[in-house]
Amino acid sequence: MEYPDSEIPPLAKRINVGIIYNLKKEGTFRSQDDQAEYDNIETVYSIRDSLNRRGYETLLIEADTNLVEKLKTQKIDIAFNIAEGIGGRSREGQVPAILEMLGIPHTGSDATALCISLDKALTKRLVSTCKVRTPKYAVIRKNTAVRLNGMTFPLIVKPNAEGSSKGISAFSVVKSKTELSEILNRNFALYDVEMLVEEYIHGREFTVGVLGNGKDRIIFPPMEIIYKKPTQGDFCVYSYPVKQAYTEYVEYKSPPDIEKRIQDEMINFTAKVCDTLNCLDFSRVDFRVSDDGKAYFIEVNPLPGLAKGYSDYPMLAAFNGVEYEKLIAGILNAALVRYGISGAGE
């Protein structure tokens, strides 16, 4: 698959791009993955350098509590948003909401899509109306009765509104009510948020990337996460510790060795999910494929990580002929086209 440079038009005038981000911080936290969603400064620099080489002017803007004042005083034509926000179930929508309030164009989905997609159960409820298959699930809140609603073990437990595999550990798959109670108590103590409990799908793991919008949208072939060894007993889980040491546990392949009908089903489900939530410019959708060949939607990330040489989204794009600099330019170009921006000040 190609995404040729000709699809990224030359600049009519210099465009000022504000790269908006949250950084990992030093400190003592309740859990080892407390800062998992935030970026290292190297990722910010990689995006900046990619855009500078394409002729864009860039400004680095950290999304702290002074963001509104910064945006009012620093001139940008468009924001390249990778900020995760600060606290709460709506955090991924905080920066887009501020940008929209100030009338500043930005890359990526709007606040509504980001808020909904971070809530895994709410997303599953919505996309299931479009006949997108997902595992049986239940949301468990602290100090409430656990009702499994007909689900059968094994089950996987994860925070309902977290990303970057936060809260998914070597203990997340449970085989009994006793184990379920133990992991719920542990997770409530560490994260103090509601938990998603869903049936664990034995089988293979895939992720599908999307770039662009409308008729120009590209849905890349699925990338398989191939486990070199089980990560928890007999189970394979793409947990935060596994991602941290991914070279030890997994390898990646795209296009995968899988029947065309299954690949087509994942691509079809991806389109339905992104259309339902109105995901824009770039996103990633995760699946498990059961041993009997059925694709199950797990979650969607309309703000996927862009860490060069680490994050799944740039990795799957590279497998399909879109190297990092071209990918970053493609994301920005998708937003520029969407807003009708051909040159700063025009």
Tens digits of residue pLDDT in 14-34: 899 999 999 977 654 555 555
Residue 267: CB atoms within 10 A of its CB come to 18
Look over the chain and give the mean of its residue pLDDT values, rounded to a whole number. 90
The candidate with the shortest Cα–Cα distance to 37, out of 111, 72, 87, 2, is: 87
Q: Count the neighbouring beta carbons within 10 Å of the beta carbon of residue 11.
A: 14
| Average confidence (pLDDT) over 78-88 | 93
| CATH of span 16-108 | 3.40.50.20
Helical residues (DSSP H) of 192-323, grouped into ranges: 240-244, 246-249, 260-277, 312-319
Distances (CA, A) of 157 to 119, 137, 208, 300, 319: 14, 10, 23, 17, 31
Domain ranges of the chain: 16-108
- Amino acid code (one letter) for 125: R
Split at pLDDT 50, 70, 90, the class of 145 is confident
Q: How confident is the model at residue 3 (pLDDT cuts 50, 70, 90)?
A: low
Query: What pTM does this model have?
Result: 0.91
> What is the average per-residue pLDDT within 159-175?
79
What pLDDT does residue 6 have? Answer: 45
Question: Is residue 213 pLDDT above 60, yes or no?
Answer: yes
pLDDT at 2: 52
Average of per-residue pLDDT across 299-309: 95
